[in-house]
Structure 1
Amino acid sequence: MQKSRLIPPRDAPEEIARRLAIIAGQPQLNAILGINPEAQAQAHLCQSQRRRGQTLGPLHGVPLVVKDNIACAGLPVTAGCQALAALRSTGDALVVRRLRAAGAIILARANMSEFAFDVRSRSSLGGDVHHPLFLGITAGGSSGGSAAAVAAGMAEGALGTDTGGSIRIPCSYTGLVGVRPRVRRGQMEGIAPLSLSKDTVGPMVHSVQDAALLHWIIHGQTPRTLESVSLKGVRFGVIRSLEGSDSHQGEVWHAALAQLARHGATLTEIDLPILHDVERAICLSLFEFRVGFDAWLKQHPGAPTDLHTIVASGQFLPEFLPLLTQMLACDKLKTPAWRAGRELRRRLRHTLGQVAEQAGVDAYLYPTVCRIPDSLEKMPPGCAPELAAISSFAAITLPCGRTRSGFPVGLEILSPAADESPLLALAAACETAFTPP
């Protein structure tokens, strides 16, 4: 298992200055929408506390980046939209309060797919987020700015949100670890919504250990050392139908499965006919976005009145107009189509739990995306990210290798367990198997 990189710096002001220099040196990535002007002052406070023998917690002086749909007191919160450029948060989101209580410094706000709509990150405020290793290729979305910032060294960790893969897709593209926790509505306090049924918030980092640390902190749990378990006796259900047809990714994926088997894991092929329904699933965001977003706007003095006002202003990506027009037509939730989407959620949860029990598997494995991207345009990831999104079970992506061209490949683990602890332990064991001695 990789070592933690979220280590409190001995000199917080120097660390902040170093990270700001990295941000300033890579404007072409479009990863950052704005810097926290109080970051240096907060770093000096951390340093004076350290010198007095005081600490705030496990993240004392650690700079982090947050996606720009997550409220940070006194800073803009824009969801990447030009119409919201002047909107400022009056308070911190719950997860940000917990990060600050642990001593973290919010260094910057990350670019994202506007409104968190897309699986690539393009916004009217920040443009396209580029991959740090492959300029001209998307970093993924919708939390692409968070992923690019961490992968480029602007911070060691970031928060993103995940509705249908928005943490896991960019983490897969950029070679990071990303956790989509189980859906907990209370965790989304202070975060601009996309889908009330599917939204989650989670960490984007370099290691499973750091993912666990941030996960525990933002969920109000006591941080602890994550112990890597042995893969001997672990049974994974491999969903072959999600492997896709990308031969470059497939080569890495099959090598990763062989590596897990060499470390003692048992791999069982799983057939899930319900995937056909997942592929054709009605997107709950179509029905839930307007209702949730209008309510969120009303919590912000000076914000546009509602989504209709934003659309009328024209201050957003024009390519989203057809989707926004569809969403404007959805002014209530409990329609037959919405109920059908919720029913699929119930059936998928039941199926995943039942199949895991019958097959005796601890978790499911599949590639995080069906193919790697080759441009700045949207690359449909397949329905793999929707398994966790629709079922609301927890999932984690971690890098399992790179293609011959050096592009990272992500492996996703989904657990039907009641909490994330077994999932994190399994991910740590897989990470150990993939880490060269």
Structure 2
Amino acid sequence: MELFIEQKPHTFFGRIWLFITMITIFYSFFFQYAIKAIGGAMFGLCALLILFSFIQVFLVQKGRIAKSYLDPIVLFVIISVLLTLGFTAKGYGTDLSIRMIEYVLTSYSIYLLLKEYPDYIEIVFWGNSLAITFLALSTFMKGVEVSSSGAIGLEGLNSNTMSSFLLIMFFTSFCLFYRKRRFVIRILLLFMIAVVAVAQVSAASRRGFIVLVLFTFLSLVFGIIPLKAENKSKKRFCFYVLLLLGIGVALIFLQNYLLEKTLLGARLMGVYDGGDAARTRYQTFAFQQFKEHPLLGIGLGGIAFHMGAYSHSLYYEMLACTGIFGTLIFLYGIIKMLRTYWLSNKVFMNVDDQKTNIYLSRMGGIFLFCILVSGIAVVMIYDFHFYYSLALLVTLLSRIKASWRIVEYDE
């Protein structure tokens, strides 16, 4: 059974919506960093996508809004913005509030598009993988030092944000392995993944490297190899097993080089630098603010206003800036998504001919878990890529749930 079970007729409105979405993906993940940032372009693209979502909801759906797993995240943003209004007089919070609303509504628009036209999901996944691969290639051609530690990247794009982009690319590329493809396409995907992996080493982000390795390991062990093991072709299964062994052997030979000859290796070996000291200082202040304002926090951007930088942790930032109230709303949405991915995997494991749904439910759960691990060292809630990632996960989950309901009906 294929994942995308319901194919709706394509419309001119849907094609334009998809076109603007693809432009937004390429601009936000590639063009603005590798070519040139255009003032107001991101705002304009987001405004267009939000407009399309309003047309979809109020004209096409006649005002009917179905529940989604993205709703708690949207509620978290709204509550956080409302809680921040009391601090705008102090000079912070306004810009971040506008940005978060813009990003979460844009991501919701992308979710609505892919929910309405499920066969566009693969197009968006390909566009995402290509855009971030081009970004990685650009770091090889025009990369500069982007941090005091010597990390190589592009101007205006710090290594942690770039690492988050690369993780998204790994997720969308691995998802594209869900069905049999031509040998040339499989080689292209593997080449793109290799390019992004090298860019990750150049970025010298410890968190990014560890999370990318974690995602790759979990995806191979619980996703790709079990998927191919059920294939009738033993040659294909052997190919992936040999590929995994080859990667392992290559890592053994590259271990000394990575640890001794690269900046990433030095950071992985525990070299304590100025960035680590600053991070400790920011998080200590954030925790102190949480203890003083535990329920509602000090408002979005409060840590940066007082300390000159964010707390370098999603969890410290949420607790300090949105308090227990906002944090619980956010965690409710995330835990609900994780639980549904887990349950969907259990449901499909007991049904024949559901390997595609099993594979994609595992990939989604692994990706969401890795995002949560990333949150230990990265704030993310002020960035478009975070809400975009959640929109992709919710879209995938909605299609899996649709297949789930059909399976239960057939039984």
TM-score, with normalisation over the residues of structure 2?
A: 0.27
Structure with max Cα Rg: 2
Higher strand share: 1
TM-score, with normalisation over the residues of structure 1?
A: 0.26
Higher helix share: 2
Structure with the greater relative contact order (CA < 8 A, sep ≥ 6): 1 or 2? 2
